[in-house]
Homo-oligomer: A and B are copies of this chain.
């Protein structure tokens, strides 16, 4: 006999069995529904592209992590490492046909050959939405509304959308007189929630070489991230005067619009400390924290950029968007015992037991009457002992069993069993869907 191949996955890659995949599909479907409800349209781009297109020029860091190889035609190709670069290429190629403003979402796996660690994989899903072709603050404001609607739809109660504007940060640096060191300064400030005031002070003075008064003024500014009252924060920011004026105006407009639109502004926090990387974002910045699990970091982040596709086209395409970190969010949901992680390994709440193979057509008929009523229903394929079938139902997480033998068929009835409460009832066949729905709707 031929020797077996050991069944295994690559380091940093993983299988999704049903109990993990069912909540992931629910999260993706929820994001899809929310994005669509705001008019974002789906697009898809290839997993593989010319390496030149994905890597541009330079990008040593990208080069190291990107899966890159020669294809059968000796082309230098690579797997996408995010959905932003392919979107930029897509926009450069198609925007004249599509027209602006253009609102898109994209969902799919991306690949990075990075070091793996807990919760960090080499294949993971991104789930982005963006509006391009407009500088209107309306698009920025809508990003906040989409994130808000998304986390409500994801059934989270405790979350905070933190918002800043790079124009404010730049204005503050200007007013302190340290614009030339902005990259290092922003990098240090970004760490405030993680390493605290003293940690950032050390970095600002020892690495960035600010003097004590500069670092003090900067930290005093950034420390306003603790303040929950966005109106107070905005009033404080006003004190920096004209250098921050435009940024503050856009933040204030955002807050006012969200309030007028009827959303709960206590979910929104103006946070002067968030910077999100160095180069990419040029305006509004978004982060989203689960307040019961802040240590996992932002689960939905984004911002405004001046020009999406400058590598590929002279056409200037400003835009704003954000990305849901699906895998990080799922890890958080697991830790928070989110109600969507039920452990069930079946999407069908009902199992029709099989007492007699000759009754298969009747069982499928019963099942079909539930399916057309929108209730997922499986028929057990073999007439095994009932004990084994109940065990199967328990393992899979079915909630209700339908049981019918000769006696029931004779009487035109059917037995249903609530598998959670272990309660049975005999009902007319005609009532099956209604009675099943009633059992499934029990709290």
Please give the residue numbers on chain A whose beta carbons come within 8 Å of chain B beta carbons, in ascending order.
Answer: 2, 4-11, 13-18, 21-22, 24-25, 29, 32, 36-50, 52-53, 56-57, 64, 67, 69-73, 75, 77, 89-90, 92-94, 97-99, 101, 103-104, 109, 111, 113, 123, 131, 134, 136, 138-139, 141-142, 145, 149, 256-263, 309, 311-314, 345-348, 351, 354, 357, 360-362, 364-365, 367-368, 371, 376-382, 392, 395-396
Contact = CB atoms under 8 A, between A and B. Distances in A.
Contact of A13 (B6, B46, B312): B46
Q: How many copies does the complex hold?
A: 2
Nearest to A70: B69
Given A53-B7, A138-B381, A348 B38 contact: yes
A48 B345 contact: no
Nearest to A139: B381
Given A46-B123, A111-B47, A368-B262, A39 B378 contact: yes
A304 to B, nearest CB: 12
A259 to B, nearest CB: 7
A346 B139 CA distance: 16
Nearest to A125: B44
- Contact residues of A: prevailing secondary structure: mixed
Nearest to A11: B73
Given A9-B49, A371-B38, A43 B17 contact: yes
A138 B371 contact: no
A90 B231 CA distance: 54
Contacts of A103: 346, 378
A7 B312 contact: yes
